[in-house]
Structure formats: structure tokens, C-alpha cells
Structure 1
Amino acid sequence: MSNKSSLKPHNLCKITNVSTGEVWMQVRKHAQEIAESEPQLRALLYDVVLNRSCLGEALAFRLSRKLSREEMNRHELTPLLVGIFVNQPRVTQSAAADMIAIFERDPACKSPLEPMIFFKGFMAISTYRVAHHLWHSGRRPLALYIQSICSEIFGVDIHPAASIGCGLLLDHATSIVIGETAIVEDNVSILHEVTLGGTGKATGDRHPVVRSGVLIGAGSKILGRVEIGRCAKVGAGSVVLADVPEHVTVAGVPAKIRGRANTPAMDMNQCFESGQI
């Protein structure tokens, strides 16, 4: 295993083959189709998509509708979000990669528009990206405020300091918890009720490192500074307390190696795969 203390987790996203402009064209096309066929959704789609000039602006308006509160209304929140999504291309690029990941991996998703309008997992990770940017811009109280609203609205609690790549699928997303020093690389799929947590009162690097291509099944708990190797699979309901090698399936309480794994995050195959370890 690598020296985990030497990792530099900020700005993990390495996916460069997703065109924000192409994603935006697909989003607008599907929004126009729905606006013409579903009058009850027309106002929402025009406000979020069809009256906007780019994907970043659309993301900002969508999140401002979801996150606004009496203490921070839409008129205050929207300029903050537009400034981040429009002026920080990396944030929007990461969100576009998430949208394509959901579209490609989730059979219930019929277009890249659907995550933005309907899927709270996508909206939660996009909210995290805003809070993460604020955290690293020295605006930590505001980042924690945004995190608290995300937890309240979407049932997803991701600390703003956690380092998360892109191409991420939070499937269903309810009750996902990701701690302050967690590292999640690109192209990871996580189902509902997963915890990437610490153990006790330890300080410093105390949360898991999840390498690229990993699939974490529903209800799994990964605790402490353990490393989940590239393209590993964690079975539903498992408790992981030790490092997991790459390309294996682990399951149980405590989790043990049960078989091999190929590309679990992409395949979304939660069954055990045959083959010698």
C-alpha cells in the first residue's frame, strides 16, 4: 500500500473526456422536450435550464431552488452559486462528469438532465462541490452552513474538507456519510446508507481512502484510515476495518475476501464473481 500520509487529495478529478458543452446541449434538448409535453414542469424547466446560458448557470439556479432558506434566500444564494459554477470551470466539469456517470450506470436514468432535476444523490454531491470550494477559499463557516443544509434536505452528510473526484454515482443516496479526511477517487459508485467514517476521537487522517473504480454496496460501513484498492467491490451490509486489495470482492462483518472483481463501479454488478484469488 502507498504512504497514505503523503497523499495530496485536493483537486482529484482526472476525467478530461467529458465535454461540458456537449452535456449542456443534451440537457437543453431533453428539457425542451419535457417542457412541451408536461405543462406542470414547464416553469421549473425554464427557470433552471431553458432561460440559462450554460451548464454552470443552470446548476446554480437548480441548487438555489433546493437550498434556499429564510436565513439565506434565493436572491442571496443564487449569485454565490453562479459565481462558483460559472467562474470555476473545474467545479462544473466535475458535475458534468457526475451527470454522465449517472446516465451511463443507472438504468433508471434516461438522460443527463434527469440527475439535475430529479436525483438527490447528484444534487447532494454538487452541493458538496460548492462547500468544498468555499472550504478551500477560506470561507469555512459558510461551507459548514451549506453542508448542514445538504444534510437536512438530501439526507447526505459530506464534510466540505473531504476530497472527492468526479464521475461519482451516489445511487439513491439516503444516509450516506463521508467524513472530513476521506479521499474518494474518480469513477466510484456508492449506494445508500454507506458510511466512510472514523473510529473514536483520533485526529489527523482518520477516514477511508477509496481508490478509482470501487463499488460500495448499500449499508456498508468503512471505518478508519483503511484503503479500498482500485476496482474493488464491497458487498452490501459489510463492515470494513482493514485495507482491501484491488480487484477483489469483500463482504461480511467484519469484511473478508469472497472473490474477484473486474470493473464494479461501471458494471453496478453486486453479485459475487467467480475466480481464484
Structure 2
Amino acid sequence: MSNKETTKDSTKELFSVLVKEALTLSNSEPLLKSVLDELIVFRQSFAEVLAMSLSRKLASSLLSRSQLEILFLSTYKENPSIVEDATADLCATMDRDPACKSYLEPLLFFKGYQAIQAYRIAHVLWKDERFFLAEMLQSLISQKFAVDIHPAAKIGRGIFLDHATGLVVGETARIGNNVSILHGVTLGGTGNETGDRHPKISDGVMIGAHAQLLGNIHIGKGAKVGAGAVVLEDVPPHVTVAGVPAVKVGRPENALPSLEMNQNFTRDTNSKPAK
């Protein structure tokens, strides 16, 4: 499967793959059979699988597993596009993470994937003006996954959050499609200003670990941000920036560096402009 496949048919195909993987794993690891049956094999759709797995992860004294499962299922039923987003995100993780050997792994274990799916539900709640419930879900996501994404932020599909620990995404941040972000990244403001105050990330951008992007800045399509960079100004499309403060150090070898996940920024110094 490809992370570009985000139709209803591709979601059904992904669900079929997950069931096959679960059955195969159950045969080789009988200890896992009961949990795999409950979470995957006995479900009727990918939406059910997501609702079951996320509700188990996020259940707390504030909201029980059954309450969360009902909330998630109803949200998926009313907003099927976010199930397709989840399909694209899972395919993106499988495509871009060399440590990922099956679709089951990110679905059940990778907190970056889980956090972005829980955010998507919180975002729907926010748009429906159920602000307090959205913020409560945001708090649970932060506690369980160490990922803090404001429910008002707007995020596209085909997103890969690698490791994800310490990720912060502010209220007015925007993230396009097919973006890859490593752990410790901040898309934040520069102080106590109000209004539109957070970064805007275009399609195909890759942001290295612990990069800090601050203010209402724009990161152009296919740009690459080095690990530990502090970015305070706009970054043009297809440019590599690094350093404190960040400066241009070259151009990515590929038009969409988020898909390649190449962390070697020295290669970009002599690269020709990406097409």
C-alpha cells in the first residue's frame, strides 16, 4: 500500500491487511491472541480498530474506556474523512520508518501515530465548539503520549511523527500533507502575543529532532529543517536550513525530503535545486 492511497477502498484494504497480520501473529505468539482478537480480528472496520485501540490507551479517571470508545466511534461515523487521514498516516509511517515491519506496530505501539489520531478527534470536537471536551482530550494525549497538539491546530494527512516525545504544536499552527516531524520539535509562538502566531508548514517538509520553529512563519514546500535549529523567519521552498538562528545551508536532494527521511544535511550543500 502507498501513503497516497486515502480512499474508502484503501481503508478497507488496510483493515484486511491488519486482520491478516493479526491472525499470523496470533499463530506465532499465542499469548497475544486474546488481545489481537479483541482489538483487530473481531472488529468490523478500521474505524472500530482505531476506536478500540485509542480508547484503551487514553482511558483514565476522567473518561472511561467505554465512554471514549463511544465518543470515538460516533466521531468516525460522522467524519469518515479522518479515518482516511488515519489510513494515510499509517501508510506514511510504514513507508518512512525503517524500524516498522508491519502495520500493526505503529497502530498498537507507536505513540506518534496514536497521538495524531487522537488529535484528529479532538480537532473535530473543537470545530463543533465542544471546546472543553476537546481540551480534556488534549490533556489526556499530553499525559499518555508526551505530545501536546492544540485541538485548534490544522494538520493534513500522510503525517509521520517519528518517536514524537516532546512535540508541541500551537493553536494557530498549520501543517500540510506528507510532512515528517521528529521528536522534541516545537511549533510555537515567540511570547504572549495573540492572534495568528504559530508556524505554517507546507507539504513535504521534514523537521529534524528538537528543532524550534517560532512565530507566524512559513516553511515552504519541500523544505528541510536541521536537528536543533531555531527558525525565526520564513524558509523558502526546497531549501535546507540549520543552526541557531537557522540559516540556509543548501537544498534537499529530493523534492519532498519528508518522504526520504535523509538526516545527512551535509549532502544538501552541493545539491542542485529540487524539481
- TM-score range, shorter-chain basis? over 0.9
- Which residue of 2 is the match for residue 119 of structure 1? 110
- Percent identity, aligned pairs only? 50
Contact 2:6–2:87 under 8 Å retained in 1: no
- Which residue of 1 is the match for residue 246 of structure 2? 255
Cα distance in 1 for partners of 2:105, 2:271 equals 37
- Which residue of 2 is the match for residue 269 of structure 1? 262
Cα distance in 1 for partners of 2:26, 2:90 equals 20
Match of 2:263, SS state, is: coil
**1:175 equivalenced with 2:175 (yes/no):** no
Cα distance in 1 for partners of 2:71, 2:159 equals 24
- Which residue of 2 is the match for residue 72 of structure 1? 63
- Which residue of 1 is the match for residue 16 of structure 2? 25
- Which residue of 1 is the match for residue 198 of structure 2? 207
- Which residue of 1 is the match for residue 135 of structure 2? 144
Cα distance in 2 for partners of 1:149, 1:159 equals 12
Cα distance in 2 for partners of 1:175, 1:78 equals 26
Contact 1:124–1:154 under 8 Å retained in 2: yes
Cα distance in 2 for partners of 1:45, 1:121 equals 21
Once the two structures are TM-superposed, the CA of residue 45 in structure 1 deviates from its matched residue by 1.1
Cα distance in 2 for partners of 1:124, 1:40 equals 27
Cα distance in 1 for partners of 2:114, 2:214 equals 25
How many residue pairs get matched?
264
Match of 1:269, SS state, is: coil
Cα distance in 2 for partners of 1:163, 1:122 equals 16
Poorly superposed stretches of 4+, deviation over 4 Å: 14-18
TM-score (normalised: structure 2) = 0.93
- Matches of residues 39-188 of structure 1 in structure 2 within 5 Å? 39-188=30-179
- Which residue of 1 is the match for residue 215 of structure 2? 224
Contact 1:57–1:86 under 8 Å retained in 2: no
Structure 2: any 5+ residue segments left out of the alignment?
none
Contact 1:26–1:113 under 8 Å retained in 2: no
Cα distance in 1 for partners of 2:33, 2:57 equals 17
Greater RCO, CA 8 A, separation 6+: 1
> 1:62–1:17: structure 2 CA closer, same or farther, 3 Å change rule?
closer
Cα distance in 2 for partners of 1:270, 1:250 equals 12
Letter in 1 for 2:258: A
Once the two structures are TM-superposed, the CA of residue 112 in structure 1 deviates from its matched residue by 1.9
Contact 2:175–2:202 under 8 Å retained in 1: yes
TM-score (normalised: structure 1) = 0.92
Query: Residues 50-76 of structure 1, C-alpha deviation per residue, up to 9 Å, x if partnerless?
Result: 110000010000001001112211121
Contact 1:101–1:167 under 8 Å retained in 2: yes
Match of 1:170, SS state, is: strand
